[in-house]
Amino acid sequence: MAHLLTRRTLLTAAAGVAGAGLVGGLAARQLTHAESGPAGPDVPAGDERLIRIASGARGREVDFWTAVPEGYGDGRGLPVCLVLHGASATPRDFGRLGLARYLTDAVRRGTPPFVLAAATGTRLWQPGREDDPRRMLREEVPTWCARRGFDSSRLAAWGWSTGGAGALLLAEAYPGWLRAVAAFSPAVRPGDEVFAGVGKLRGAPVGLWCGRQDNFLRDVRALARALPEPPARAAWTDGRHSFAYWGGVIPEAFALLGAALTPLRAT
């Protein structure tokens, strides 16, 4: 059963912000903890909801958050971008981070409309014996979206830090399932699972962004070179491992995702 949390709860819930995830052997790295970013552009959020819902894949209730761009009602018929949070954020933080307003702003600037959908995952988004966030994303979240009337046949994924690595692993686990992947400062390193499966990303547009002052920059650039095809977008601009940086590159990522989720029109 799903339990609706009030919009007031959504907008005021306090928790750590995204990023600063350490993956296995990366624990020795001294990452800058993610900072609080701006609450999004000065535009209205559309239909934004946060509920509690039972996940069989995770063996517990999770938060399930969705956002529709303002002006598109309840989002019926729109494609979906799955959002994978970083190590210290959850969907309860997304209202404060203004993700719904970033979405409205992108669409107003010409990005084809889509829906954002997120559910609470684990720190590393790795499957376990009794807790499998990857299976939740593959099997359950699209079903929850379809119940809302969203078009779950058109899916992309976006994540940051450990969520960025998780989005790439999701695309590798199910080749051809996602129409595009956008990863901000993904927590990767040569020799890890992402690099090992990189060949499975062939045919999937991949966008990579990382700040020049981010400790993951060298490895993210190595990943860009290791992709079986050139990335659809790769950008290295000034910024640290924080939402202060990630918020600035959201427009480029949403433009990439929106284009990939939109079917080509017959000429």
pLDDT recorded at residue 28: 32
pLDDT recorded at residue 266: 44
Could you say which of 3.40.50.1820, 3.90.79.10, 3.40.50.10420, 3.30.390.50 is the CATH number of the domain covering 3-261?
3.40.50.1820
Place of tokens 């976006």: 158
pTM for the full model? 0.86
| pLDDT band per the 50, 70, 90 thresholds, residue 39 | low
Of residues 129, 137, 162, 214, the one with CA closest to residue 24: 162
Give the span between the Cα atoms of 206 and 179, in whole angstroms. 9
Mean pLDDT of 184-192: 97
Give the span between the Cα atoms of 92 and 119, in whole angstroms. 10
pLDDT of 9 > 50? The answer is no
Q: How many residues can be counted in the chain?
A: 267
Of residues 118, 152, 112, 155, the one with CA closest to residue 258: 112
Mean pLDDT of 98-123: 97
| pLDDT band per the 50, 70, 90 thresholds, residue 37 | low
Task: Kindly provide the b/e burial profile for residues 119-158, where b requires at least 16 CB atoms within 10 angstroms of the residue's own CB.
Answer: bbbbbbbbeeeebbbbbbbbebbbebbeebebbbebbbbb
Cβ neighbours around 61 below 10 Å, total: 15
Which carries the bigger pLDDT value, residue 165 or residue 34?
165
Supply 18's token pair: 């995204």
Q: For residue range 112-169, what is the model confidence (pLDDT) as tens digits? A: 999 999 999 998 899 998 999 999 999 999 999 999 999 999 999 999 999 999 999 9
pLDDT of 8 > 70? The answer is no
